Structure 1
Amino acid sequence: MIERNPGIRLDLGWVNRSRVNDQAVKKRVEDILTSYSVQEENKLDWMVRGIRVIDLTTLAGDDCPSNVYRLCSKAAYPLSENLSKTLDIPVGSLKTGAVCVYPSRVADAFKTLNNMGFDINVASVATCFPSGQSSLEIRLEEIKFAVKSGAKEIDIVINRELAIGGRWEELFNELVEMRKACGEAHMKSILAVGELSTLTNVYKASLIAMMAGSDFIKTSTGKETVNATLYNGLVMCRAIRAYNFKTGYKVGFKPAGGIRTSNDVLQWMTLMKEELGDDYLTPHLFRIGASALLNDLERNLSNRITGGYCLSEEMPMA
């Protein structure tokens, strides 16, 4: 069992002296993409492992109980029965890492998964996702509402104004209050990297989020112009590694936004393995926020097994 990150006292000295070499980041990512790849005979296994780390997500304006029911069904049975049998995966043994919904839909997801008898966590975005533009009091109340409704994981958004302005102590204090509001639910802090201007800000915001007790740090809401990129991901992984070296605590990582294909998943998993090790290929420390990704993984798994892509109507309903 991985010990939960309790957070540490704010270390502004560490934050303020941190700098990121953009060219070194670019070179390292290019090196990973060209020098490290999943061998062809292992790709099937890696794609199945990729399913296990998906936070299967719906964050649409027309979400309703029926949408959530279908989402939970797909999380519990991510592959068709025929494909599961062909892959020698007992039906019901493969599931996604979590389902992620708005706070108002948490109760629907929690009830559905309970009735199905599946131990799949319900994650909820909160704190006025995606902008975070509301008072701290309202953002904290939204966290508490989601937890009371059954959420075991809370994806909060940081106050980007504070991060861009270098007001790190204020940001730290807000996140500490959010962590308290989460209680036993794990807190995944969304940095919205596309709005932080520089990779150095991404690194500093990662440190602040972990110091405040985040269980995961997450790249994006999926609503920004720039979402998860391997460059931002590498910087966040390096911050996770530095935090672990200094404190002994392992913090999880979640890229989200624009991850749609099997090749995307393999690239992110390769980054995790090379930068953080095999522990970061498991749902305890690695998640991918996605909605359409699962369909692409199933189609590619089908192609590798049968030589043909399955039709949309042959896949579990999204």
Structure 2
Amino acid sequence: MKNTKTNKSNESNDSIVPDVDNPGTEFNPEWIDDIRVNLSAVKRRTSTLTARRTVKKEWQAAWLVKAISCIDLTTLSGQDTPGKVRRLCAKARTPVSLEIQKELGIHDLNLTTGAVCVYHEMVPTAVKALKGSNIPVAAVSTGFPAGLSSMEIRIQEIKSSVAAGAREIDIVITRAHVLNGNWQALYDEVKAFKKACGKAHMKSIIATGELSTLNNVAKASMVSMMAGSDFIKTSTGMEPI
């Protein structure tokens, strides 16, 4: 199998991965107004996915390896403890047993997950456990999962997690901005979050299960990208889909 690992190096976990940065654009309401989602076409398209043939054998293994390298291994529970986070980090370092890796001929890829995602309180524990691996620590922030804290507190959450060593910040948007069609407010909010992230990557969780329509999902995604989001994530995992 070819090396499917990307953007990995021997850098320490204290460095910032420089491969992605979306500088954003000026707010352009015309881009939002032009978005239309054909729901019938979406349903027809998605109904065909389960009937399609998948790749087989070594190609399937290659895609699975790639998928593992993109996973944010996550624990977001009231039962999280330093020990639980350390075990998760150990799994992130070796997500597939060395025996299986040797069998697949990928043991030289240094396969890891893409990141480990935790609450702010567990960031220092995760950073220490992942030191030397170049696996970034991601922290959920900005009043996750509801995003209803004050703007001042949400901004400070980001800064605190970055200062603690988080290299990726998962922000949650204010769903009311989307539901009320207040796209300028959403843009200003996400842009302020991006500024607070500094050199850390910012992933915007738009909580699709609470946005009512696919038009809203598409528009919220576009606004988030305009405001500088490096990645879009669909769900907090805690709202109905």
Q: Same fold (TM over 0.5)?
A: yes
With normalisation by structure 1, the TM-score equals: 0.68
> Residues 146, 3 of structure 1: CA spacing in aligned structure 2 closer, same or farther, 3 A cutoff?
closer
Per-residue deviation at 1:33? 3.8
Structure 2 Cα separation of the partners of residues 168 and 203 of structure 1: 12
1:189 aligns with 2:204: yes
- Mapped to 2, the partners of 1:38 and 1:132 lie a distance apart of 40
Shift of 1:22: 0.4
> Where does 1:154-303 land on structure 2 (aligned, <5 Å)?
154-226=169-241
Off by >6 Å, runs of 4+ in structure 1: none
Confirm or deny: 8 A CA contact 1:7 1:210 kept in the other structure: yes
Give the counterpart of 2:44 among 27, 35, 49. 27
CA distance 1:36–1:92, change in 2 (3 Å): closer
C-alpha separation in 2, matches of 1:207 and 1:48: 30
What residue number does 1:10 align with? Answer: 27
Distance 1:69 1:195 in 2: 33
Once residues 45 and 155 of structure 1 are traced to their aligned partners in structure 2, the CA distance between those partners, rounded to angstroms, is 28
Cα deviation, residue 212, structure 1: 0.3
Question: Normalized per residue, which structure has more helix?
Answer: 1
1:78 maps to a residue whose letter is: P
Tell which deviates more after alignment, 118-127 or 84-93: 84-93
- Which residue of structure 1 aligns with residue 75 of structure 2? 58
* Superposition TM-score, scaled by structure 2 size: 0.88
Give the Cα separation in 2 of the matches to 1:42 and 1:185.
33
3-state SS in 2 of match to 1:84: helix
* CA distance, structure 2, for counterparts of residue 92 and residue 105 of structure 1: 28
Query: SS state of the match for residue 159, structure 2?
Result: helix
Query: What is the match of residue 4 of structure 2?
Result: none
* Conservation of the 8 A alpha-carbon contact between 1:81 and 1:91: no
Separation of aligned partners in 2, 1:170 and 1:135: 14
- Kindly report the root-mean-square deviation, in angstroms, between the aligned alpha carbons of the 2 structures: 1.6
- Where 2:26 maps in the other structure, the secondary structure is coil
Secondary structure at the aligned position of 1:123 is classed as strand
- What does the per-residue CA deviation read over 1:163-216, in whole Å, with 9 as the maximum and x for residues that have no partner? 111011111101110000000001000000000000000000001100000000
Unaligned runs of 5+ in 1: 227-318
Length, aligned pairs only: 224
Tell me the amino acid that sits aligned with residue 99 of structure 2: N
Change (3 A) 1:92 1:58: farther
- Matches of 1:82 and 1:189 in 2, distance apart? 37
Question: Which amino acid is 1:28 matched to?
Answer: R
**Partner letter of residue 135 of structure 2?**
I
Tell me how far 1:42 sits from its aligned partner: 1.9
